[in-house]
Amino acid sequence: MNTALNLPLPQGSHIQAYADDIIVVIRETLPLFRFITIQVVNNIKYLGVTRDCCLTFTKHFKALRDKTDSLIYKLSTVANEIYSKRSGLFRKIYYEAIEPYLLFGVGALGNILKLKKIRYSLNSLQRRPLIKITKAYRTISTEALQVIAGVVPLDIKAKGVFGKFLLTTINNDIKFGSKIFKWEYYETRLDPYNIHAADNISITYDKHKPSGEEIEIYTDGSNINDQVGAAIVVFYYNAEIFNRTITLSDFATMYQAEVTGVKMTLEFISTFGPFNNINLYTDSLSVLEALNTFKTSQQDILAIKNDILEMSKKNPLHSTGFQLTLEFRGMKQLIVLLKKLQRDLTLKKIQRNPLNN
């Protein structure tokens, strides 16, 4: 396989490998064809998705329906024997096992997800699972089953999966209805296996009460009424010397706001010289655990780790150093800042849309 991957190919042709599967995509006739016989087929299966020459995916949907029926029967049998026939049990099985199975490889369909035939094929895959959930008659329409079960049609879910792929992997903006989603609003994921082992570092944290000595920084995020912000407050021997708030996109999550708070803290620390001891206090256990983990796929977390590592190298007076601390006690000044930020965000929203308030 290494030999194949290193073969020089004409422009427009390439080799793609995943695990033990390899495929050669050729746009033009190669001299190689003179020495081997290539059989022409109407269907090809690659990475679990069967493609046909007309890209109708008919054979793929048929195979998926047969496998899904078998999966439903096996899961139902086990669930009924172990957990009895509890109400809502199969709904959970559908969301956790069946729907992800049906949506596997849906990104391969790409823009043909808009076609009526493809939408019909996807939604028809939901019929038997939804009949199992609702216990309805088999003559009921698929649309009615989706409404009664309260389950999003599979063609819409498929568009969502494909849209997420375009946003986070291809970095393309997408439009759903009248709403436009910008790819830069979403976190970029890294492949942890593409990061050198020496760059996988762990930033530990502690649990202790503030001492009131030297520099202590408090940070938190706020997410109220779909408005997101972050704030930091800096104290030097219990005297407030600095504070800052920042507004994030309405698409940002609480976790992203808390990560932003830590990044704001590092930006502040980089503005002054060597220090003996700095404590950062946050109540975000998820951010602390992300920093404490060696491997990460989060670009912001990796950037924070690298910044902390560089700070430790440039600080010759580093004694106890930069300490991340988990602290659940409310900080009055920080809460005041976040509430003020919330009022400002609400006021701006009212000024932008006066007729909607």
Query: How is the chain split into domains, by residue range?
Result: 87-185, 197-350
| CA neighbor of 227 nearest in space, from 355, 351, 349 | 349
Helix (H, G, I), strand (E, B) or coil at 237: coil
According to DSSP, the residues that pair with 223 across neighbouring strands are 228
Phi and psi torsions of 204, nearest 5°: -80, 165
For residue 321, list its beta bridge partners: 277
| Distance, CA of 195 to CA of 189 (rounded, Å) | 12
Residue 98 in 3-state DSSP? helix
What is the Cβ-side half-sphere exposure of residue 1, based on CA atoms within 13 angstroms?
8
Q: Which of 203, 201, 238 is nearest to 218 (CA)?
A: 238
Q: Report the distance separating Cα 97 and Cα 271, nearest Å.
A: 50
pTM: 0.60
**Burial class for 93, CB neighbours closer than 10 Å (0-12, 13-18, 19+):** buried
The two structure tokens encoding residue 40: 């022409």
> What is the residue whose two structure tokens read 């375009």?
166
Residues 6+ apart with CB under 8 A from 309: 201
The secondary element (H helix, E strand) that includes residue 50 is strand 49-52
Q: Which residues, in sequence order, are CB contacts of 58 under 8 Å at separation 6+?
A: 52, 121
Q: For residues 281 and 210, is the Cβ–Cβ distance under 8 A? A: yes
- For residues 317 and 199, the answer to whether their CB atoms sit within 8 Å is no
The candidate with the shortest Cα–Cα distance to 112, out of 184, 56, 38, is 56
In what helix (H) or strand (E) does residue 223 lie, and over which residues does it extend?
strand 215-224
Name the DSSP letter for residue 271.
Answer: T
pLDDT of residue 357: 43
> How many C-beta atoms surround the C-beta of residue 263 within 10 A?
17
DSSP string, 157-179: HHHHHHHHHIIIII---EEETTE
What is the SS3 assignment for 146?
helix
Amino acid at 210: P
pLDDT of 87 reads 59
pLDDT (tens place) for every residue of the chain, 357 residues total: 888 888 888 888 888 888 788 888 877 666 655 566 777 888 888 888 888 888 888 888 888 888 888 888 887 777 766 666 665 778 888 888 889 988 888 877 888 888 888 899 889 889 888 888 888 888 899 899 999 989 999 999 998 888 888 887 788 888 877 888 888 777 766 766 677 776 677 888 887 777 777 788 888 887 766 678 888 888 888 888 888 888 887 778 888 888 888 898 888 888 876 666 778 888 888 888 888 888 777 888 888 888 887 777 665 433 334 455 655 444 556 666 666 666 665 555 545 554 444
Q: Are 342 and 222 spatial neighbours (Cβ–Cβ below 8 Å)?
A: yes
Q: What is the spatial distance between Cα 165 and Cα 109, in angstroms, rounded to a whole number?
A: 12
DSSP state letters, 194-214: GS-GGG-----EE-------S
The CATH number of domain 197-350 is 3.40.50.1220? no
